[in-house]
Amino acid sequence: MAKKILVTEDLVQEGIDALTEQGYEVDMLIDPSPEELIGAIAPYDALIVHPNTRVTPEVLDAAENLKIIGRAGVTVDNIDIEAASERGIVVCNAPTSNVISAAEHTMALLLAAARNIPEASASMHAGEWRRADFMGSELYGKTLAIFGLGRVGGLVAERAAAFGMNLIGHDPYCSPERALHLGVTLYDDVAPVLAQADFITVHLPRTVNTLGMFGADEFAAMKDGVVLVNAARGGIFNGEALADFVAAGKVAAVAVDSFEVEPCTDSPLHEFPNAILTPHLSPMTHEAQRRASTQIAEYVTTGLEGGLVATALNLSPVPAEAFDTIGPYVHACKMMGSMASQILGHTPKSLKVELAGAISEADPAPLVAAVLDGGLAYRRIGAFTAANAESIAARHGISVHASSVRDAAEYASSVRIEADGVEVAATLFGTEHTPRIISLLGYKIDIAPAACSLVFEYVDAPGRIGVIGTVLGEAGANITTMQIGTKPGEGCALVYMNVEGTVDEAVLDRLREAIDLRNLWKIVL
Q: Is 205 helix (H, G, I), strand (E, B) or coil?
A: coil
Domains of the chain: 1-97+283-315 (3.40.50.720), 99-277 (3.40.50.720), 316-440 (3.30.1330.90), 451-525 (3.30.70.260)
Residues 236, 217: Cα–Cα separation, whole Å: 14
Residues 511, 468: Cα–Cα separation, whole Å: 7
- Amino acid found at 379: R
Contacts of 441 (CB under 8 A, 6+ apart): 343, 422, 423, 424, 457, 494
Assess contact for 485 and 444: CB atoms under 8 A: yes
Question: Taking Cα atoms as reference points, which of 396, 375, 349, 380 lies closest to residue 523?
Answer: 375
| Candidates 280, 291, 331, 396; catalytic one | 280
Residues 20, 24: Cα–Cα separation, whole Å: 5
What is the separation of C-alpha 459 from the centre of its chain, rounded to a whole number of angstroms?
35
Q: Active site includes 280?
A: yes
Query: 470-475: which pairs have CB atoms within 8 A and are 24 or more residues apart?
Result: 470/514, 471/507, 471/510, 471/511, 471/514, 472/499, 472/501, 472/503, 472/507, 472/511, 475/501, 475/502, 475/503, 475/507, 475/510
Using alpha carbons only, how large is the chain's radius of gyration in Å?
25
Q: How far apart are the first and last CA of the chain?
A: 41
Q: What is the pLDDT of residue 380?
A: 47
Strands (E), 25-142: 25-28, 46-49, 68-71, 90-93
Question: Taking Cα atoms as reference points, which of 134, 156, 158 lies closest to residue 257?
Answer: 156
The DSSP bridge partners found for residue 28 are 7
Assess contact for 405 and 356: CB atoms under 8 A: yes
| Candidates 36, 158, 240, 262; catalytic one | 262
| Candidates 203, 233, 331, 464; catalytic one | 233
Residues 401, 350: Cα–Cα separation, whole Å: 8
Assess contact for 437 and 411: CB atoms under 8 A: no
Q: Active site includes 262?
A: yes
pTM over 0.85: no
Assess contact for 269 and 256: CB atoms under 8 A: yes
Assess contact for 169 and 179: CB atoms under 8 A: yes
Q: For the chain, 525 residues long, give each residue's pLDDT as a single digit of tens.
A: 789 999 998 888 999 999 999 999 999 999 899 999 999 999 999 999 988 899 999 999 999 999 999 999 888 889 998 888 778 788 999 888 899 999 999 999 999 999 999 999 999 999 999 999 999 999 999 999 999 998 899 999 999 999 999 999 999 878 788 899 999 999 999 999 999 999 999 999 888 889 999 999 999 999 999 999 999 999 999 999 999 999 999 999 999 999 998 899 999 999 999 999 999 999 999 999 999 999 999 999 988 987 767 778 875 555 555 556 777 788 889 899 999 999 998 888 899 999 999 899 888 888 898 898 888 765 544 556 666 677 778 877 889 999 999 998 888 899 999 999 999 999 998 766 788 999 999 999 999 998 899 999 988 878 888 999 899 989 898 899 999 988 877 778 899 999 998 889 999 999 998 888 889 999 998
Assess contact for 296 and 71: CB atoms under 8 A: yes
